[in-house]
Copies of this chain bind each other. A is one copy, B any other.
Amino acid sequence: MTTLQDIYSSRDANTSAIIARQDPVVYAQGTYAQALTEAQLESYARDGFIVLHDVFNPDEVQAMLAEVKRMSEDPDVVKLDEAITEPGSDAVRSIFRMHELSDMASGLARDPRLIHVARQVLGSEVYIHQSRANLKPGFKGKEFYWHSDFETWHVEDGMPRMRALSCSVLLTDNNACNGPLMLVPGSHQQFIACQGETPDNHYKQSLKKQEFGVPDPISLQLLVEQGGIQAATARAGSVIFFDCNTMHGSASNISPWPRANVFMVYNSIENTLEAPRNGLKPRPEYIATRKKFVPLEPLEAKAAAI
């Protein structure tokens, strides 16, 4: 339900604004599960993200990469709404709902190395709000402008509070030259309410090029003056965990090196979706889980192999 006083109101025809975060970053003092050390938790709480290096071994990475490539070339997958192509091209840029389309990705979503971090940070059981594989091709990978995921999830999906996190499992090396994820440390503590109302079916375009829910330059400048920008460069097999409200983006990729990752969004089972804000229609199920909110069961069998 849209409340009369939405503390994270955005795209409501008011001008842009910076609103202080009203929610914890780490819930229940990080005691719900054991995954990150105390120092790692502190770092995550301060910056709004953490890069864990070499979480998955090369064999695991190659298997997952092969799975994503196979799917991106499978006509039965490419024809699905879940498969998003590059602007002006037929090359698959993203495949959504990976955790249901692929057994391997389903296992990844429940892998203790990921899900226990999510359970620990969010202080509850979790489910997958969104999952996808991203393939940013070499030579002509497009940029992705700055955004807070939460801004979109709150307005377009009706996610009530900041109690979700994303993790990006790197399937290729991310270096300074192939358009790595860039994050603004500390930006998760400020909510940038964006200007402009949202057109219907905005998601069809926003997956290719964001035009609404875009933070204004003055707010961005302020966040960057306060926190700088960190490019998350790391080897394949590393994982970037980041808060749902951390400002992030990536530049274009003209290098020959493609950039691939699998991306999982864990939401707290205590933060399930309400109606979208501003009278918007819900986005499709493959972009935002809405029909069933079932806690995801960790694959404990794998835990011993960590």
Contacts and interface: CB of A to CB of B under 8 A. Distances in A.
Q: How large is the interface on A (under 10, 10 to 19, 20 to 34, 35 or more residues)?
A: 20 to 34
A254 interface: yes
Among A138, A143, A224, the most chain B Cβ lie within 10 Å of the Cβ of A143
Given A229-B177, A251-B179, A256 B221 contact: yes
B220 A139 contact: yes
Interface string A239-276: 00000000001111111110000000000000000000
B220 A256 contact: yes
A75 interface: no
Contacts of A139: 217, 220
Interface string A165-187: 00000000000110100100000
A251 B231 CA distance: 14
A8 interface: no
Contacts of A255: 182, 224, 229
Contacts of A233: 176
A145 interface: yes
A150 interface: no
Among A145, A176, A233, A250, the most chain B Cβ lie within 10 Å of the Cβ of A176
Contacts of A44: none
Nearest to A249: B254
B231 A176 contact: yes
A146 interface: yes
